[in-house]
Structure 1
Amino acid sequence: MTERIDGHTLLIGLMAYPIRHSMSPTMHNNAFAKLGLNYAYLAFEITNETLPSAVQAIRTLDMRGSNISMPNKQKIIPLLDKLDPATEMIGAVNTVVNDHGTLTGYTTDGIGFMKSLDDEGLDIRGHKMTLAGAGGAGTAIAVQAALDGVKEISIFNRRDEFWDNAKRNVDIINEKTDCKATLHDLADQDDYKAEIQSSYIYADATGVGMNPLQDQTLVTDPAWFNNPDQIVFDTVYAPRTTELMKVAEKAGVKHVFNGLGMMLEQGAAAFKLWTGKEMPVDYIRQILFDDDDDKAKA
């Protein structure tokens, strides 16, 4: 790292709270070093309250850009100059590119989700998905899956601050894509079970399963997974094996994934936006996936 940093090094950030557990600095800095690119990637703990000054710092310091994660993915939108069209539909940003003071927002979460399944030889296009969560990641997954050809999406959420966002997601998907989307209350457990059992893939895009909820899962009964050929996908990657994954594995589900592949592929998409180069994905996958589970701190 010290051999690469000089007076011409460009800074890229990660702005979220909490964020010290993130593997993104490891991913991007190793990719920069592998390709000999003069960039450095650092994590900054930024809340909604400190976000405006942090975004101004991107301009002031002429940073190349930043990743954005919870709780800032939607709050950052009014602070940017432009959004790309898909991101405008999604209504959440996870990547900012700075072109000499003009800040453009993108979202690569949904791209990362779909690409990570492609990497495993799994195609959910033309199939039904049940999705829990309607925050930044859940919204990106739902919209991108619909744009890419998923036939039907049942979105479950609690009647909390994200309920209206879930309704917006359903309306946009039904209006702008060929996918049929429906909204369901997570409190209706019978409905929840039925929708999961009629789906090819179940994805959890909530924070349940990660610190401080690492001992919890929305699905506790293995009988809810009644088809070994189903896909169960948890966007959480720390811990590497979540409680949801344990339930699915106990049910005999063959295709059970955490969010590490999604994190890798969304990072690769952001990497290209900043550098114009393809991330050396196989090299980075080896670094990330070969880490011991206890290194992925919750």
Structure 2
Amino acid sequence: MKPPIGRDTRLCMSLSARPGNAGSRFHNALYDRLGLDYIYKSFSTQDLAAAVGGIRALDIRGCAISMPFKEAVIPLIDALEASARAIDSVNTIVNDGGRLTGYNTDYVAVRQLLEQRIEKPVPFLLRGSGGMAKAVAAALRDAGFAEGRIIARNETAGRAIADQYGYAWQADLPPESAPLLINVTPLGMDGQDRDALAFPPEHIAACNTAFDVVAQPVETPFIRAARAGNRNIISGGEVIVLQALEQFVLYTGIRPDLKDIREAARYAHGAEVADRIAG
């Protein structure tokens, strides 16, 4: 049974432009199930430097980092673990006695999903050029996906990712589709882009796998269209569960069993996401 909140309770948190409840629900569900004296809370901020200073000053054990802070946070912390250093993007901060180390568990989650859910590497189109796009491109490369294009209006950022990981870049979607379509933009995310379709219907109809990293909501227009066409689907809900699991392990030193992971995922994201989490 989880102890009551007191002076020894460890606080973990998240920072993002659009805070949601899913991460808090997942972590807190695992704390409850495992009887851990931790609590998790999501926040937004207009002052990233002050927020990171608070992590250090208040001995907050860990912090998840989401858009748009994954790159901006790097100068504010003390060290980068290999996963974050390789792609210059941080989605997790671990506080060890005031020393803040950045990790990237997005990379771990995406690579796991690529290897579990796609039988062999295929050509892809990846739409996006932010910190998460770097993590996905690195995972694609390391999982053996040799042929792909980075689609990004921001030429500087798009070319940088393409050159770093050995892919082509172009500003706009090509007329032809690819077997694997990956959305790493806010298109379909709660807010002003909620109804936007990340890829046109003809591209979705011609693909084999639709992969959307957007997790709020899990059922984006891209995912709904792919599901209607009986395409293979990898959702942002699956990414966020697996990356959050790796964060949980970093914060607590405990790796839950599959039953506990699925129950926490069910509570945070629903039965469909939970049932797709592999052992």
TM-score by length of 2: 0.88
Structure 1 position 182, deviation (Å): 1.1
Q: How does 1:270-281 map to 2 (within 5 A)?
A: 270-279=247-256, 280-281=260-261
Change in CA separation of 1:171 and 1:292 when aligned onto 2, cut-off 3 Å: closer
Paired amino acid for 2:239: M
Partner of 2:51: 54
When structure 1 is superposed on structure 2, of 53-62 and 283-292 the one drifting more is 283-292
Partner amino acid for 1:275? T
Shift in CA distance, 59/223, structure 1 to aligned 2, threshold 3 Å: closer
In structure 2, runs of 5+ residues without a counterpart are 274-279
Between the aligned residues of both structures, percent identity stands at 28
1:180-228 deviation per Cα after TM superposition (whole angstroms, max 9, x unaligned): x111112xx4x2x32xx3x33111010011122111113232355325x
**Are 2:129 and 2:184, in contact at CA under 8 Å, matched by a contact in 1?**
yes
1:1-298 aligned within 5 A: 3-19=3-19, 21-47=20-46, 50-118=47-115, 121-123=116-118, 126-159=121-154, 163-174=155-166, 181-186=167-172, 189=173, 191=174, 193-194=175-176, 197=177, 199-210=178-189, 211-222=191-202, 224-227=204-207, 230-250=208-228, 252-279=229-256, 280-290=260-270
Deviation at 1:15, TM superposition (A): 0.9
CA RMSD of aligned residues (A): 2.2
Could you tell me whether the CA contact under 8 Å between 2:184 and 2:213 is conserved in 1? yes
Cα 1:154–1:4 change in 2 (3 A) is farther
Instruction: Please say if residues 222 and 248 of structure 1, whose CA atoms lie closer than 8 Å, have aligned partners that are also in contact.
Output: no
**Aligned-partner Cα distance in 2 for 1:59–1:13:** 12
The Cα shift of 1:2 comes to 8.4
The answer (yes or no) to whether the contact 1:115–1:262 under 8 Å persists in 2 is no
TM-score by length of structure 1 reads: 0.83
Runs of 4+ residues deviating >4 angstroms: none
Provide the aligned length of Structure 1 versus Structure 2: 269
Deviations 1:52-84 (A, max 9, x none): 011111111111120011111111000011111
Paired letter, 1:237: A
